[in-house]
Amino acid sequence: MEDNLKAALEIVKAQASVRTMTEDEITSMVQKLASGIMRIDEGMSENASAAEQIPPVDPKKAIREKTIICLESGKSFKVLTKRHLAKYDITPEEYREKWGYAKKTPLVCKSLQRERRKKMKEMKLWERRKKVED
């Protein structure tokens, strides 16, 4: 409230320096501005928290066959990168936690996930590791 009053006083002070105003005009202008600033301030904080809570799609349906929809931006990708999530000041771990994904859920579309899994099975890295250790 105090910040709103200070902001209103600054605006009225600037207005009074440009034109002559009566005491009643100054008082009513300060009151109107202070309450207006307070309403705007409350509205912004409500909208910001509401916008953060409502994802563009249901998180369970965000990971699709050929795309994954970012629940922060609403855009679709094949892979959600650290770099993209950094634009929203969030890490992949925080993203998973925020939207209710398991810790090891890959942030990739299903088709790419299958391709990667298939490639890993073909490479058989676990067998190579055993040979190196022997």
3-state secondary structure of 103: coil
Greater pLDDT, 34 or 117: 117
pLDDT of residue 19: 84
pLDDT band for 48, please (50, 70, 90 cuts).
low
At 108, phi and psi to the nearest 5?
Answer: -140, 155
Average pLDDT over residues 1-8: 78
pLDDT band for 46, please (50, 70, 90 cuts).
low
* pLDDT above 60 for 50: no
The ranges assigned to domains in the chain are: 2-53, 59-133
- The CATH number of 59-133 is which of 3.30.70.1290, 1.10.10.1550, 1.10.3720.10, 3.40.50.300? 1.10.10.1550
Q: Are strands 68-69 and 76-77 parallel, antiparallel or unpaired?
A: antiparallel
